[in-house]
Amino acid sequence: MAKANQKVHPLEELIRTERLPHIWCPGCGVGTVFSACLSAIQETGIDHKKFTMISGIGCSGRGAGYVKLDSFHTTHGRAIPFASGIKMANPSLNVIVFSGDGDLFAIGGNHFIHAARRNMDITVICINNFIYGMTGGQVAATTPHMDRSATTPYGNPETPFNLPLMAYASGATYVARWTMIHSRDLTDSFVEAINHRGFSFIEVLSPCPINYGRRNKIKSLNMLKMFADNTIIKNNADPAQLDIDFKKGIVLGKFVDIDKPTPDENYEKICAMRE
């Protein structure tokens, strides 16, 4: 608790301060994204009781453990089906999935595709740090080609996902990408996503200096510099052109924003229509 002469942190009411310090490493970007998410929750003006946060497993997956909301730290890859159960059972809740690229797109990839196809009315925030951070830096479905990791010591032979393209192709009705240094755009995007009816997806590029940067000889600040210099904001860009290639430049912005009914609305309508 803040002492009388201390300023209260603007997000204090949304943080389980008794759980600090957090587990995130120095130079990690998760905390910044987490703050942006909490700021967005505040900005919506919606009663906090109407929010719930669901995480999977991994560094980003610890988000649910620090937010002072009804929050769930589930099994690896399963945050989305857990969130879908919540949303369908109580559509009045704002359901935020806060997790990482390994969790959401390797082990949990199928759930992502299907929740997007359904236009499930949840907000999925994916912190993409290009690596499995918590387990010590193994190659992910998002690791750029030829990059080094604990399990690709000579370079990654595979190509990474283009996550916004996958979200769009699967049926997501709100798709955006930012980096963690674009914290103002990021917060605005989170507010939009929370208010959006349907499946909203925001990819946030974020540094993992310990387990990705170190192996690929990218210093912490240089990574942030790349996020600033090698990115271009291009709203409504073609999702097929959103491959991650720092040499070519990475496209950021809002790519999809479509209004479409959600499964909870449709289910209720169909049930009301029957004899």
CB of 26 to other proteins, least distance (A): 21
Indicate the residue among 28 and 120 with the shorter CB distance to other proteins: 120
Q: Which is nearer to other proteins, 70 or 257 (CB)?
A: 70
Using CA atoms, how far apart are residues 120 and 198, in angstroms rounded to an integer? 6
Q: Per this entry, what is the length of the chain?
A: 275
Q: Tell me how far, at minimum, the Cβ of 170 lies from other proteins, in Å.
A: 11
Angstrom distance (rounded) from CA 214 to CA 45: 40
List residues near other proteins by CB under 8 A: 16, 19, 49-50, 52, 54, 64-65, 68-75, 78, 81-86, 88-90, 92-93, 110-111, 113-114, 263, 267, 270-271, 274-275
> Can you tell me the distance from the alpha carbon of 149 to that of 162, in angstroms, rounded to the nearest whole number?
19
On whether the CB atoms of residues 59 and 134 are closer than 8 A, the answer is yes
What six digits make up the tokens of 186? 């990021």
To other proteins, the closest distance from the beta carbon of 174 in angstroms equals: 21
CB 255 within 8 A of CB 239: yes
Q: Which is nearer to other proteins, 219 or 260 (CB)?
A: 260
Nearer to other proteins, 5 or 270 (CB): 270
Query: Shortest gap between Cβ of 106 and other proteins (angstroms)?
Result: 14
Per the structure block, which two tokens stand in for 125?
């925030």
Residue with tokens 């970007």: 29
